[in-house]
Structure 1
């Protein structure tokens, strides 16, 4: 299985006076078949950033694994003494060095060409005390991976920062605008969990064969901690899914559990009680903005 398209998003969420960075993705790989259990959001050895991808998995997985290891091998980055902009630079250096090592190309092909994969990299930039998002992508004009900062939405709305990569991004953006308009949030300022709701609905309506499986969700907080979430799927009564994979009968994901139809809420409890009524395993997120009523 070499290729897939996806819908991957990252945005700055505003909750009162608090902000957090949210990543969301579908879970489908598709290359002549569908496989709905693929991790597309990745934690890193440093806890203040996440990365996700859209595109060819034969490129994406090796690149993400090696850049993650490179951060882990570099104490100043692993310990967050260096800002995430340094980690972004490490990612690009690793991506380009790995691509230069492709060899034994088909006869007549001089370069490896477009790898057909894009990444969203983001986290909390402690030097500037703000969240940052970058798109990492291949640029044919320089035959290298490079980066593009994600800018606020047009019209001067500095509170709305959103990255979208993958399949049907134009439709996803149109749906998002319509959802915000229906709730009286235009012009307004900032996002809550509306981008997740758009992703959820596009998975459910099955209008795009490349987008499917349970939604994946991760967050980065301003206290420089990242957190993955389990998502009950296909609704609140469903089995918890983590990074697209359903919990096995004996598993209790040590993750907060998200209701896909009330994504602004989440339980501190990781899973349902066990057969002998053990206490729920809980993940305490003391400073995280949440609602539990």
Structure 2
């Protein structure tokens, strides 16, 4: 049981493709640490699934293996649309090779899982996302490109997604997205992080048993590269660092950026806004860089620091603090022997 979303986020001066899923797996039991968003050997695409895990996992693992070992398929000169065709053919071949079927009704064999696959198309110079479903009638996986233009370029898949009123997960998600867009008077077709807000709300809603656990988040950039993110779940104050559905402590957490589920913004490590004692860092490596970063009024931090500059400052301060700790420890130990 699942909710997956993929959408094109407008960043003002560019765009990026974001995938977001929940983490719950059900099937007689419930487990909130299942990986549903997968990094592939090709860095210009991602895939996620909804439906039965026993059907989805073998297909995705076969895809990862094919991309890893097939040079043509892993060649960035092959456009994402051509990769999609190979994915659909590969999934079809695998599902149609199933034998020793169980007794009973087997007419839906192969259709137990559905997928969102997408990435950056260098041929079309745009992001593309397809839904992959197994069509029992023709015995093949069919790809459908479906972005909801009026609301924004977004696609949802989920499970269940039947006709029963109030239980169709993608329809519930779409209704919540429409509500968010209406309340904010946003009708320009440009999306920010609203689909993530929807997934957060449904994961926190105890009435929606099928959608639960920490969010799994990945982005694809126009450079043909991707980035995965963690999230503090269920909140920054009362939550843990999670990554791809798993909880981590501060010592073992992956070195990725983490989202705040309430603001749907990336949590930045704090930097002091002023550094009155600049001379303390004169012997530090990168002192000239520190002077430039704190060139504002009264040694204030520049407001236009780039992300790499912020990360460099954090590294310098951490190294300085650790060296200071060692110096103090050595001084203390030497004092014991005097």
User: 1:160 is matched with which residue?
Assistant: 152
Structure 1 CA distance, aligned partners of 2:6 and 2:117? Answer: 9
Contact 1:231 1:260 in 2 (8 A): yes
Greater relative contact order, per chain length (Cα 8 Å cut-off, separation 6+): 1
Query: For the structure 1 residues 112 and 202, does the alpha-carbon distance in structure 2 shift closer, same or farther, using more than 3 Å as the test?
Result: closer
Contact 2:7 2:17 in 1 (8 A): yes
1:30 counterpart = 2:26: yes
Q: Which of the pair is proportionally richer in strand? A: 1
User: 2:144 is matched with which residue?
Assistant: 148
Shift of 1:268: 6.9
1:85 counterpart = 2:77: no
User: 1:219 is matched with which residue?
Assistant: 219
Segments of 5+ residues of structure 1 without an aligned counterpart are 270-283, 287-293
1:57 counterpart = 2:53: yes
Structure 1 window deviating more from structure 2 (144-153 vs 106-115): it is: 106-115
RMSD over equivalenced CA pairs, Å: 2.0
Q: Which of the pair is proportionally richer in helix? A: 2
Please list, as runs of the form range in 1=range in 2, the aligned pairs for 1:55-204 lying within 5 A after superposition: 55-107=51-103, 113-153=109-149, 157=150, 160-167=152-159, 168-185=169-186, 187-204=187-204
Shift of 1:84: 0.9
Please give the TM-score of this superposition, normalised by the length of structure 1: 0.84
Query: For the structure 1 residues 114 and 97, does the alpha-carbon distance in structure 2 shift closer, same or farther, using more than 3 Å as the test?
Result: closer
Segments of 5+ residues of structure 2 without an aligned counterpart are 160-168, 271-305, 309-338
Structure with larger Rg: 2
Structure 2 CA distance, aligned partners of 1:124 and 1:64? Answer: 19
Contact 1:67 1:90 in 2 (8 A): no
User: 1:206 is matched with which residue?
Assistant: 206
